[in-house]
Chain A
Amino acid sequence: MIATACGVVGALCLIAACKREERGLRVDPPSSSRVNSKTLSELRPGNVQPVSAPNEFEENAFAMNEGKRLYEWYNCVGCHAHGGGGMGPPLMDAKWIYGGAPEQIFATIVEGRPNGMPSFRGKIPDYQVWQLAAYVRSMSGQVSKDAAPGRDDDMNTKKPEQSTEEQKPLPTGGVPKSAERPQ
C-alpha cells in the first residue's frame, strides 16, 4: 500500500517536477526564430499587447541560474546594476519600457534599444538570451519562486530573486519620449 501511494505521488510529482531541475547541457533553445524573423520590421513591440509566449526556462532553476551568471559575465550589470538600474533602467520594478513579456525582453537584448541598449545580435547565442530573459524576469519576481535563484556569494545588495515579491508589470505607457526619436 505504501508502495502504491508512493507510486502515485511519485507519478504526480514526475509530471510537475522533472523539467524543473533539468540541466540543459546540450541545449535546444526555445524557438528563437519567431523573434528573429521580425527583426526588420518597423514595429516596436513596446506598444503591442505581448503575445503570450511562455519561456520554458522560467520554470527551470538551472537555466535561470545560468542567466544570472551571464548577466554578470556579459556585463549587463554594468548598466542595470543588480536590478536597481544605473545608466540603464531598473529591472526589478513593475515598469517595462519595451514590454516585460519574455519575447519582448528577448527582442530588447537581441536588437538593442535606443538610448544605450546595444544590440547583442550574433554576440550571444539565442538560448543564452532566453536564459537571460528568464533571469531578468526573476528579478521582479515574475517566475516560479521555487526555481528562482537564491543569493550569490558576493556582497548582496538586494534580496535574492527567490525572495523578491512579484511586481506585476504596469500597463506599458508607450515608448518614452527619449526613445521616440531615432538616435
Chain B
Amino acid sequence: MKAEENTAQNDETTATTGAPSAQEAVPAVSLIEDQERAELERTWRDEPGLWGWLRSVDHKSIGKRYIVTAFVFFLLGGLLAVLMRLQLSRPENTLLGPDLYNQIFTMHGTTMMFLFAIPVMEAMGIYLVPLMVGTRNIAFPRLAAFSYWIYLFGGITLYVFFFLNIGPDTGWFSYVPLAGPEFSPGKRVDIWSQLINFTEIAALAASVELIATVFKLRAPGMSVNRIPLFVWALLVMSFMVIFAMPAVMTSSLFLTLDRLVGTHFFNPAEGGDPLLWQHLFWFFGHPEVYIIFIPALGFVSSIIQTFTRRPNFGYTALVLSMIATGFIGFGLWVHHMFATGLPQLGESFFTAATMMIAIPSGVQIFCWIATLWSGRPQFKTPLLFVLGFFFIFVLGGLSGVMQASVPVNLQVHDTFFVVAHFHYVLIGGAVFPLFGAFYYWFPKMTGRMMSERLGRWNFALLFVGFNLTFFPMHQLGLQGMPRRVYTYLPGTGWGKLNMIATAGGVVMTVGVALLIANALWSRRRGRAAGDNPWGADTLEWATSSPPPSYNFEYIPIVQGREALWARTTDDAPIVTGLRTNCRDVLVTKTLDAEPDNTMTLPSPSIWPMGVAFSAAVAFIGSCFTPWAVVWGAIPLFVSLVGWGWPKPKDETCDLTPVDEWSDEERRKEARRAQ
C-alpha cells in the first residue's frame, strides 16, 4: 500500500537521529518505538486534573463518561419504573397520587427515550467507532465534547426541575392540547420541551461526527464492503437521527411558542390543529425506536460473530436489511394514530408499510440463526444476552406485526398490550444487546474482564424478571386495561396480573443491581484482559486494553472483512508517517478507503463546554421569558467565537520532537508511561 511506502523513510530518519545519548539516570525511553509512543501519548492525551478533564476531546473519555451518564439516567428511570410498578401492584393503591404518578410516568418515558436509549447508543458509537475503523480520534472531537456537555446539562436540568415538583406530567409524547398552555399551566411542559432541544442537539452533533468518521477516517483497506456491521449500524442510525430529529425539534419549538408567546400552531379555534403535533412527533417518534434498535443490531452482529467463531452469515443481507429498516422506519409513523380516524386508504398504506418492516427484521433474525447454526457458539455472558434478545425480541416483533393491522390496533392501542409490546422490543431489542455489549467491551474499556459467574446470574435474573414483568401485561391489555392510569378499580380483575408484574419488576431490579456490582467489582479486581480476550475480529481489539490515548501506534491496514482474523502473520501491514507531534489522522476515500490526505484534529478546549453551558442557560431562560433568546445569544456568541478562534498555523504541532526532550521531560514521560 502506498501509505506504507511513503513513510518508510520517515521511520529511518527517526531511527538515525532519534537514539538518545547514553545517560544512565534517564529511564529508557530509548527504543524508537517507545519514543514514538511517548510522543504520541504526549500529543493525544488529556491534560491531568479536573481542568484537563473538562477540556477533553478524546473520544474514549467522552464516550466513557457519556456511557456512565446515560447509565445513571437509566438507573433513575428504572427507579421511577419500580415506583410505578409498586403503585400499580394492587387496585386503588395510594402510594402515589395522580399528580405524582403522572410526573413519574412522564419522567420514566422521557428519561429512557431521550436520556438513556439514544445517548447510550451514540456513546457506544463515539467510543467504539473510531477504534473499529482504525483511527486516532473521532472526526470532530470538539463537537463530541459539546454533544456530551449539552446532553449532561439537559439531563441535569430535567431532574433538578423534577425534584422541584416541576416535572413534566403530560407523557413522553406530550400530546396537545393537554400539553398546551390551557391544560398544562406552569413550567412543567416547557422544561420538557426544552429538554427535547438539549438531547436532540446532542444527538445531531454525535450523528454528524459518526458519519464523518465512518466516511472519511477509515483505515486504509476498509472499503465499504469491509466495514464491520456495528459501524454500519451506527452509520444508519446516524442518518436516521439527522432526518428524524428536526421534526421533533420543530414540534417542540411550536409547543414552546404556543405556551410562551401565545402562537396558535395547535389551537383549533384559531386555525391550528392538535393533530399537527401528533404527525410531527411520531414522524420522529417512530424512527426513534429504530434509532435505538439499529445500534443494537450492531451489538448483536459483533457478539454473534465473535462467539460463534465465524463471520456473520449474510453480511450483505444484514447491511441491506439495516438500511431498509432505516428507510421503512420513516414510513409508518401513522400507525400510532390509527385511532384518530384516518381515511381507509391511508390506513391501508400504513398497515402495509408497518408490516413490511417485519421483512428486514426477519432477514436479520434468520441470518443470525444461520450463523449460530453453522458456528461454534461459546456460551459467554455476552452471547447469553444475545440469546435472550432473540427470545424477547422475536416475541415483541410478532406482537408488533399484530398492531400493524388497523382493527387489532384499534383494540389494543394505548392499552397495556402496547406497553408489553414496546418493552419487549425496546428492552429485548436494545437493552439486552446493550448489556451484552457492555460485558463484551468492558475488557476493552477497562482492561479487566467482568465476572462470568455474576454475569450469568445477572442474565438469568434479568431474563426471568423481564418476562415476569411484561408478559402478563399482554393479557392485561386484552382485558381492557388502558395505559397511563395511576390506579384501577378492584372490580376490573386486573390486580393479580399486576401483582405478578410488580414481582417481576423487583427481580429485574436485583438483576440490574448485580450488573452494577459486577462492573464495580470487576473494574478493580477483574482478571486482566489483554488486548483481545475474546479472539474477536474487529480493529478495536488490535490495540491494548484500555487503548492508549492515540488508539493505535500505527494505523492498521485492513486486508479483509474480518480485519484481525484476516491477519495471517504477526507483522501486519501498517501505515506510518503520520506526524507524531501533532494530532494527525489519516483521511481516506469514502468508498475504497484509499489513503487520501491527512488532517490535523483540534486540541483540547474548554469552549465546547462553554458553548453547551451558555446554550443551556439560554434554553432554560427561554422557558421563562422569550427575551432569553436575545440575551442568551450573547454568551453563546462569545463562546462560539472562543471555540472557533483561529490558532497560529502550527500551534497544534509545536510540541518538542521527542529527540529534543530534556532529561526532565524524559523522566516525566517515562514515569507517566509506567
Contact = CB atoms under 8 A, between A and B. Distances in A.
Contact flag (A, B; Cβ within 8 A): yes
24 contacts: A6-B156, A9-B160, A10-B160, A20-B187, A21-B166, A21-B186, A23-B99, A25-B97, A25-B98, A61-B187, A65-B186, A145-B624, A146-B187, A146-B625, A147-B185, A151-B264, A151-B267, A153-B180, A153-B268, A155-B270, A156-B262, A159-B262, A163-B261, A163-B262
A153 B180 CA distance: 8
A62 B259 CA distance: 14
Given A6-B160, A10-B164, A145-B625, A160 B181 contact: yes
A13 B260 contact: no
A152 interface: yes
Contact of B165 (A21, A150, A162): A21
Interface string A113-155: 0000000000000000000000000000000011101111111
A10 B624 contact: no
Contact of B186 (A6, A147, A156): A147
A20 B186 contact: yes
B163 to A, nearest CB: 7
A17 interface: yes
B575 to A, nearest CB: 40
Contacts of A64: 185
A14 B595 CA distance: 57
A141 to B, nearest CB: 14
Given A146-B187, A153-B183, 14 more contacts: A6-B156, A10-B163, A17-B165, A61-B186, A62-B185, A65-B182, A65-B185, A149-B182, A149-B185, A151-B181, A152-B182, A153-B177, A153-B268, A154-B269
Interface of B: 50, 97-99, 156, 160, 163-166, 177, 180-183, 185-188, 258-262, 264, 266-270, 624-625
Interface of A: 1, 6, 9-10, 13-14, 17-18, 20-23, 25, 61-62, 64-65, 145-147, 149-156, 159-160, 162-163
A159 B261 CA distance: 9
Nearest to B176: A153
Contact of A149 (B177, B181, B261, B270): B181
Given A21-B187, A156-B262, A150 B270 contact: no
By Cβ-Cβ distance, the 9 closest A-B pairs, closest first, are: A150-B181, A61-B186, A65-B185, A151-B262, A61-B185, A152-B182, A160-B262, A21-B186, A17-B164
A128 to B, nearest CB: 16
A14 B266 CA distance: 32
A120 to B, nearest CB: 23
B258 A146 contact: no
A17 B157 CA distance: 14
B165 A22 contact: yes
Given A9-B160, A62-B186, A156-B264, A20 B166 contact: yes
A156 B270 contact: yes
A149 B262 CA distance: 10
Counting chain A CB atoms within 10 Å of each CB, the highest count among B98, B177, B269 belongs to B269
B164 A21 contact: yes
A9 B93 CA distance: 34
A10 B258 CA distance: 28
Counting chain B CB atoms within 10 Å of each CB, the highest count among A13, A21, A65, A149 belongs to A21
Nearest to B185: A65
Nearest to B99: A23
Contacts of A147: 185-186
Contacts of A149: 181-182, 185
Nearest to A151: B262
Counting chain A CB atoms within 10 Å of each CB, the highest count among B188, B259, B262 belongs to B262
A18 B183 CA distance: 20
Contacts of B268: 153
B186 A151 contact: no
Contact of A1 (B50, B187, B261): B50
Contacts of B164: 10, 13-14, 17-18, 21
A64 B181 CA distance: 12
B270 A152 contact: no
B354 to A, nearest CB: 32
A156 B269 CA distance: 8
Contacts of B50: 1
B185 A146 contact: no
B329 to A, nearest CB: 33
Contacts of B185: 61-62, 64-65, 147, 149-150
B99 A150 contact: no
Contacts of B165: 17-18, 21-22
B100 to A, nearest CB: 10
A43 B260 CA distance: 42
A163 B627 CA distance: 12
Contacts of B183: 153
Contacts of B267: 151, 153-154, 156
A154 B50 CA distance: 53
A10 B163 CA distance: 8
A2 B258 CA distance: 34
A156 B271 CA distance: 11
A82 to B, nearest CB: 13
Contacts of A1: 50
B185 to A, nearest CB: 4
B334 to A, nearest CB: 24
B52 to A, nearest CB: 14
Nearest to B274: A153
Contact of B258 (A9, A25, A151, A159): A151
A1 to B, nearest CB: 7
B186 A153 contact: no
B188 A151 contact: no
Given A21-B187, A21-B188, A150 B160 contact: no
A18 B270 CA distance: 34
Nearest to A64: B185
B630 to A, nearest CB: 16
Counting chain B CB atoms within 10 Å of each CB, the highest count among A6, A23, A156 belongs to A23
B269 A146 contact: no
Nearest to B268: A153
Contact of A153 (B156, B182, B188): B182
Contacts of B180: 150, 153
A90 B55 CA distance: 58
A89 B259 CA distance: 28
A154 B180 CA distance: 12
Nearest to A25: B99
Nearest to B259: A150
Nearest to A155: B269
Contacts of A6: 156, 160
Contacts of B260: 150, 162
B625 to A, nearest CB: 7
A164 B99 CA distance: 29
Given A10-B164, A21-B186, A163-B262, A152 B624 contact: no
A127 to B, nearest CB: 16
A159 B186 CA distance: 17
